[in-house]
């Protein structure tokens, strides 16, 4: 799976802002998710200059969704640079509801090369934020925080640090409905264990949560086994365990745990299940109306069995 630019944020189509553009009329400020970025290798200007132009040419009071794209040589300068500029403009971005930090493709920077920072500063500066997304786990900081309105949190990484997972788990997010964590692999900093997810799985965190994604993980089977009896699962509508190393053992644990027939969607795409286990999953759930995604069956590298399984995105 390639890591592409966002196509939408907050349900709004992503639109690239280009300063001084003569490409025809722009959409209204509140009708797009605005991506502000520069080409670090071709553009002469800075991200600050492009962002200043954005604030001058698009009514900042109407902007609802902002996508922070490439801000320079991202593996040399952390996201604290663009985040600081966005926070400094908080008094002008009075309608902002969604921010995504690090919308870079693999051609711009491998996901594990994107240098992040303390993204919770955005939550402190924008109390009306309902969506926050982050791509890249290097230098990522997420201390325990409280935010009353946040409904969706997405963190995409090739390796999610344990301290970030713990910070999310310890946060007070009473409105959170959707949580997506790409846990990644240990070789790129993904050192979280299933035990670090305990506050989430117990159902004592995030009372409004109905969508959970624990994805792109080299411990996908252990996660599946921990979810099987977890109190949280009973109130989920969608469960996403895709893009990781899930095999028959993890799928069997899910089926042998609590019923999953209340789910609307079980997403297991990019998996290592055998055909008999695929049939077992579909026969157990699809007659109850659960939409099961078992696309992208993978084969281990070099015939190495479980040791040859791989996640979708690592470096």
* pLDDT value of residue 74: 62
Predicted confidence band at 2 (pLDDT cuts at 50, 70, 90)?
low
DSSP string, 73-116: STTTS-THHHHHHHHHTTTT-TT--EEEE----TTT--GGG-B-
Average pLDDT over residues 306-315: 94
Using an 8 Å Cβ cutoff, are 35 and 15 in contact? Answer: yes
- Inter-axis angle of helices 275-285 and 248-256, nearest 10: 20
Nearest alpha carbon to residue 174 among 207, 137, 198 = 207
- Give the C-alpha separation, 71 to 245, whole Å: 33
Using an 8 Å Cβ cutoff, are 66 and 93 in contact? Answer: yes
Check pLDDT > 70 for residue 1: no
The domain limits of the chain are 8-242
- Inter-axis angle of helices 220-227 and 248-256, nearest 10: 10
Average pLDDT over residues 36-63: 92
Give the end-to-end CA distance of the chain in Å, rounded to a whole number. Answer: 12
Report the range of poorest mean pLDDT among 38-42, 125-129, 293-297: 38-42
| Structure token pair of residue 223 | 């996660």
The second-level CATH assignment, the architecture, of 8-242 is Alpha-Beta Horseshoe (3.80)
Helix (H, G, I), strand (E, B) or coil at 102: coil
Report the range of poorest mean pLDDT among 65-79, 141-155, 167-181, 216-230: 65-79
pLDDT tens, position by position, 237-291: 999 999 999 999 999 999 999 999 999 999 999 999 999 999 999 999 999 999 9
**pLDDT: which is higher, 73 or 120:** 120
Using an 8 Å Cβ cutoff, are 314 and 185 in contact? Answer: yes
Nearest alpha carbon to residue 285 among 258, 249, 246, 304 = 258
In degrees, rounded to 5, the angle at the alpha carbon of residue 179 between the alpha carbons of residues 101 and 253 is 135
pTM check: above 0.75: yes
């Amino acid at each position: 799976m390639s890591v592409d630019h966002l196509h939408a944020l907050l349900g709004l189509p992503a639109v690239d802002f280009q300063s001084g553009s003569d490409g025809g009329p722009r959409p209204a400020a509140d009708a797009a998710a605005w991506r502000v970025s520069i080409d670090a290798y071709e553009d002469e200007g800075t991200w600050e200059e492009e962002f200043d132009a954005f604030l001058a040419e698009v009514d900042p009071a109407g902007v609802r969704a902002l996508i922070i794209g490439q801000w320079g040589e991202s593996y040399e300068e952390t996201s604290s640079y663009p985040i600081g500029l966005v926070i400094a403009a908080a008094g002008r971005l009075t309608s902002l509801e969604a921010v995504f930090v690090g919308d870079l493709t693999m051609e711009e920077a491998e996901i594990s090369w994107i240098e992040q920072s303390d993204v919770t500063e955005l939550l402190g500066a924008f109390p009306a934020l309902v969506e926050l997304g982050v791509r890249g786990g290097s230098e990522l900081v997420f201390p325990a925080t409280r935010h009353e309105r946040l409904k969706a949190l997405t963190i995409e990484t090739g390796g999610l640090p344990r301290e970030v997972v713990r910070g999310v788990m310890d946060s007070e997010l009473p409105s959170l409905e959707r949580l997506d964590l790409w846990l990644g692999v240990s070789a790129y900093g993904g050192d979280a264990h299933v035990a670090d997810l305990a506050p989430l799985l117990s159902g004592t965190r995030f009372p409004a949560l109905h969508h959970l994604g624990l994805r792109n993980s080299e411990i996908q089977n252990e996660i599946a086994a921990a979810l099987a009896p977890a109190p949280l699962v009973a109130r989920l509508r969608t469960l996403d365990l895709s893009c990781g190393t899930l095999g028959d053992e993890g799928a069997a644990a899910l089926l042998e745990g609590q019923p999953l027939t209340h789910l609307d969607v079980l997403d297991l795409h990019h998996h290592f299940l055998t055909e008999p286990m695929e049939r077992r999953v579909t026969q157990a759930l699809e007659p109850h109306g659960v939409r099961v995604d078992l696309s992208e069956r993978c084969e281990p590298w070099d015939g190495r069995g479980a040791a040859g399984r791989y996640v979708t995105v690592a470096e």
